[in-house]
Amino acid sequence: MLPVGFRLNQSTQPALKKLTRRQAQAWLFPMRQCFRQILNTGETDAIRGYAVTKLHASDDYASIDYCCAGFRGLMDRLCPHIDSGPLRRIEQRFAAGAPLTDGLLTDALRMLRLVEDDLIRHSVAEVKDAVLTEQILIEMDEIMAAA
């Protein structure tokens, strides 16, 4: 008798729980909300004049260009076949203090829909591992910049 969670196939690895559509949508919500707010009003939340967005599942805020950079790195790791160019362009424009265009925001929202569709094909463990890897890389970059 196989333990609960095992599939009857050639391998004896446990079945990994896939990310649900609701989980993917919740994870992408802060970025989408930020882009939609900018698209609809032309404005975003700001702290000391710097554009920020509220982070998922916390009361913390982060600069939008840093969020785009981290999210882009994560998407390049999980979904390398999806072009993350719209996020790169938004990141660069925010860093330069340049205004965003409707087309750029629409492209980014379209890319996030593709990412959502792709994320539900990944296991929760794969996504968590990719997030942790990206967080470690970001921390290492900050340590190297401080040295």
Share of the chain above pLDDT 70, in %: 88
- The larger pLDDT score, comparing residue 25 to residue 6, is at 25
Percent of the chain exceeding pLDDT 90 equals: 34
Contact call for residues 109 and 115 (beta carbons, < 8 A): no
**Cα separations in angstroms, 96 against 23, 91, 110, 133, 142:** 33, 9, 23, 27, 20
What is the 3-state composition of the chain as percent helix, strand, coil, each rounded to the nearest 5? 60, 10, 30
Q: How many CA atoms lie within 13 A of 90 on its CB side?
A: 32
Give the pTM. Answer: 0.77
pLDDT band of 14, cuts 50, 70, 90: low
